[in-house]
Structure 1
Amino acid sequence: MTERVWSRDVPLDLPRDTAAYPAWLAESVTLSLRAFRAADPATPNWTHGADQHVRFFPRRLLVESVVHLADAELALGGVPRIAAGIAADGIEEFLENLPHYSWIAEPVSRLRRDGERLAFDLPEAGTG
């Protein structure tokens, strides 16, 4: 798509039975991967970020998946383990897209006062 598609206009086809959600999610992943592999990453595409090409979405979905997996692991008392390259790319992706995400960019823009910062903390070697 070269024009914005609103999420409310995308049919999710969620199962009525929540017990069927894992299978629905797995099938959705399969369909997404099939679409990403079939598309030329350099094809122009509307996105809500800086990169206006098809390649934006697989990267964005990877970062979102990693963040939500880490959240789930933390909620269950675990320690997320994220490969350094994926973590670095996730930070880069966040910073590249930040100006395009008004709901995030506006609060971050107020970090100009003394003592305020945007920090990324890494666990010590061997702990995460």
Structure 2
Amino acid sequence: MMIDSVTSQRQNILAKRVRALGVTSLDRHPQLPEVPTIAEAAGLPGFEVLTWCGVFAPKGTPRSVVERLNAEINKAIAAPDVVEALKQLGIKTAGGAPEVLADLFKSETERWQKLIVEHRLNANQ
């Protein structure tokens, strides 16, 4: 068993080289509507594990530089050809202010840290 992104495994799933047990999002994936969510398949309401990425700058980067990078990246990922190309890969773009990414990073860090502490997980298990 493995957990991987729809983006990297979609072709294997469609070719039946691997069997998808579920997707880790709250909703079924639009490119694999027949694959249930883990919440549905395992009876785990609210189960969600996100795949996300962001662009980070070193601490102390001038705010004007961060804002310029943010504006250009948001413009690039909103371009219709980019949106369509990423959609074909199963990727949904979501730009926003730097604070949106900072909030996501903080909430994901807190969520996983809590799980690690509660279950006494470590890298050597």
Q: Same fold (TM over 0.5)?
A: no
Give TM-score scaled by structure 2 length.
0.27
- Greater RCO, CA 8 A, separation 6+: 1
TM-score normalised by structure 1 residue count? 0.26
The structure with more helix, counted as a fraction of residues: 1
